[in-house]
Amino acid sequence: MLQPDRIYAAKSDETLTNLILKGGVEIPDRFTRITGDEPIMEGPVIVDLGRLDAAIGANHPLGVALANTDDVSVLAPYLARLDVVVLHFPKFTDGRAYSQARILRQQFGYRGEIRATGQVLPDQLAFMHRCGFDAFVLAKGDPVTAWDRAMTTFSRHYQPASDTSVPAFIRRRENAK
C-alpha cells in the first residue's frame, strides 16, 4: 500500500503542503479550504455550509464542510454535485460525525469523498472507515501506519455498516449453505 515516491514528492513540493490520507496513502489535497468570509477563489474549494449556494454554480470540483451539529439532510439537493463532504470531530470522544457519515452513505447514497477533520486519531480510524469516511486529516501519528493497523486488526465485524465487509451473521449464513 505504501507509495513512498508520491508521498515524498508531495512533501518536497512547497505548494502542496497539505496531505490527506486516502486509499491507504498520503496524497496532496487538491482542495483549498475557504473559511469565514474569505473570497471564494477559482478551482477546487471546500466552503462552509452557509456559502454552498454561492459556490455551487461557479466552482467545480466542490466540497462542503459541516459542523457536527448540522443536519446532513440539508445537503440532499446538492449531493449529486458535491465531491467532498468534510465532517468534523471537535474532540475524538465526540462521535456525532459517525452518524452523519452513515446517514450520507446509507440514506442518501452519497458516493463522493467524506473527509474526517479535527481530532482524528489513529485508534478511531477503523470506526470512521466503517461509517463511510474515506479521507482523513490525521491530528497525530503516522497516517500510513495507522491505516494499516486499522485495516488489519479485525478479520471480521459483527454488524453491517457503510464499508464493504461482510458481517459475521451473513458469513455464517453463507457458510451454512
Partner 1 sequence: MYQYDQIDRNFVDERVAQFRDQIARRLSGELTEEEFRPLRLTNGLYLQLHAYMLRIAIPYGTLNSRQLETLAEIARKYDRGYGHFTTRQNLQLNWIRLDQAGDALADLADADMHALQTSGNCIRNVTADHWAGVAPDEVADPRVYAELIRQWSSLHPEFSYLPRKFKIAVTGSPADRAATRVHDIGLVLKRDDAGQIGFEVIVGGGLGRTPMIGKTIRDFLPEAQLLPYLEAILRVYNLAGRRDNMYKARIKILVHEIGTEEMSRRVEAEFAKNIDSVLANVQDEVARIASYFTKLPYGPSDPNPESYALRRKSDPAFRRWVISNTFPHKIAGYCIAEISLKPTGGIPGDATSAQMIAVAALARQYSHDELRVTHTQNLVLPHVKMSDLPAIYDVLAAQKLDAPNVNKVGDIIACPGLDYCALANARSIPVAQRISERFADVDRAHDLGEVKIKISGCINACGHHHVGHIGLLGVDKNGEEFYQITLGGSEAADATIGTLLGPAISSDQIVDTVEKILTAYADLRQGNERFLDTYRRLGAKPFKERAYAAA
Where do contacts with partner 1 occur on this chain (CB under 8 A)?
92-96, 98-100, 102-103, 106-107, 121, 123-124, 126-131, 141, 149, 153-161, 167-173, 176
> Angle at the Cα of 140 (from 123 to 71), degrees rounded to 5?
70
Answer for the pair 155, 144: CB distance below 8 angstroms, yes or no.
no
Query: What DSSP designation does 78 have?
Result: G
State which residue, 31 or 136, has the beta carbon closest to partner 1. Answer: 136
State which residue, 81 or 149, has the beta carbon closest to partner 1. Answer: 149
> Facing residues of 47 across strands?
64
State which residue, 34 or 128, has the beta carbon closest to partner 1. Answer: 128
Considering the complex, what minimum distance in angstroms separates the CB of residue 154 from partner 1?
5
State which residue, 18 or 165, has the beta carbon closest to partner 1. Answer: 165
Answer for the pair 32, 50: CB distance below 8 angstroms, yes or no.
no
Considering the complex, what minimum distance in angstroms separates the CB of residue 61 from partner 1?
27
| Grid cell for residue 55 | 459556490
